[in-house]
Amino acid sequence: MSETWTLLKLLRWTRGFFQDKGIDNPRLDAELLIAEVLKLDRVGLYLNYDRPLTAVELASIRPLVKRRGQREPLQYLLGHTEFWSLDFKVTPSVLIPRADTEILVEEALKKAEDRGRLLDIGTGSGAIALSFASEKKDWQVVGLDISPAALEIAEANMHRHKLENQCRFVSGDLRQLPEQTYDLVVSNPPYISVAEYRELMPEVKEYEPSQALLAGKDGLDCYRELIVQAPKILNSGGWLLVEIGHQQQAPVSALMQAAGLKEIYCRLDYADNSRVVGGRCG
């Protein structure tokens, strides 16, 4: 006679398995993964603890549990993640949006006037651009990325949130910036140094796109290219806002000063780490 697996039994086993694999928040990951397959929310899980699972349900859950045990990111397994209280499609073609990056959106919203144009450089999933657009209906927003696969995901997210009238996504890199000028330029560029990259957790190093992370020996390569061009694409009084690593405030601020930007400042995140550096054009 085959063993009966109730929902509670499977949750407990999966939590222990994830814990043994060194996964942070093993209980939460177990609940989110199993809830996704069963089309339940977390409250639904609690209300169905005693329900036996079918062979088909178990067969759907087991390979995903195995992949998470191999440290594949939960967000890629689910196929989506939340950012700015919006749901975004994500695949291994794009960096997973993180809560710390919401600080960049907050700062962009503070600097935004009644109407204007924003450029998001290295847009990835489009999370920053689309989150901003969802709040500022009178702004036109452009997302730029070098990856065709990333642009496909960004466009899917644009349609998901019905922001086609405000947003567009275009192919290009730091050497191919649009000729149009903008009131805000924002970016969460690659800023991980080669040495830091070697020490990243497996979920990041082995699965997320390296071109969205690595930025040369000191992690500043993308800032050097971006900041020197910012005055050419910013309207007078416009702002450049960039996310940074927590030890990069001084060098990024110095690059902005050398490029002639004014009113340079740093915004901390909610863990009191340096997170966004901004500078104003002319």
| pLDDT of amino acid 2 | 61
| pLDDT of amino acid 177 | 72
| pLDDT of amino acid 172 | 87
Domain count, the chain: 2
Would 2 be classed as within a structural domain? no
| pLDDT of amino acid 61 | 96
Burial class (CB in 10 A: 0-12, 13-18, 19+), 156: middle
Give the pair of three-digit tokens for residue 31.
């609940």
Find out whether 34 and 61 touch, Cβ atoms under 8 Å.
yes
| pLDDT of amino acid 180 | 85
Nearest to 7 by CA among 37, 22, 67: 37
The ranges of the chain with pLDDT < 50 are 1
Q: Do residues 203 and 266 both lie within one domain?
A: yes
Q: Do residues 243 and 220 both lie within one domain?
A: yes
CA distance 177 to 145: 10
Q: What domain range is 247 assigned to? A: 83-280
| pLDDT of amino acid 200 | 92
Q: Do residues 26 and 93 both lie within one domain?
A: no
| pLDDT of amino acid 1 | 41
Q: Do residues 128 and 242 both lie within one domain?
A: yes
CA distance 124 to 108: 17
Q: Do residues 266 and 234 both lie within one domain?
A: yes
Q: Do residues 122 and 194 both lie within one domain?
A: yes
How many other β-carbons are positioned within 10 Å of the β-carbon of residue 28? 14
| pLDDT of amino acid 16 | 97
| pLDDT of amino acid 114 | 83
Would 109 be classed as within a structural domain? yes
Find out whether 33 and 74 touch, Cβ atoms under 8 Å.
yes
Q: Do residues 35 and 166 both lie within one domain?
A: no
Residues 6+ apart with CB under 8 A from 241: 104, 107, 108, 111, 184, 185, 186, 187, 276, 277, 278
Q: Which residue has the tokens 């209280």?
A: 85
Residue where a domain stops, chosen among 70, 100, 118: 70
Residues 6+ apart with CB under 8 A from 55: none
| pLDDT (tens digit per residue) in 108-165 | 999 998 899 999 999 999 999 999 999 999 999 999 999 999 999 999 999 999 999 9
Residues 6+ apart with CB under 8 A from 182: 116, 117, 118, 119, 142, 233, 234, 235, 238
| pLDDT of amino acid 92 | 96
Would 150 be classed as within a structural domain? yes
Q: What is the pTM of this model?
A: 0.92
CATH code for the domain of 105: 3.40.50.150
Q: Do residues 184 and 266 both lie within one domain?
A: yes
Q: Do residues 181 and 221 both lie within one domain?
A: yes
3-state secondary structure of 145: strand
Q: Do residues 126 and 237 both lie within one domain?
A: yes
Q: Do residues 65 and 87 both lie within one domain?
A: no
Please list the alpha-helical segments (H only) found in the chain.
7-20, 26-38, 42-47, 55-69, 74-78, 102-111, 127-135, 148-160, 194-198, 202-205, 221-233, 249-258
Q: Do residues 88 and 219 both lie within one domain?
A: yes
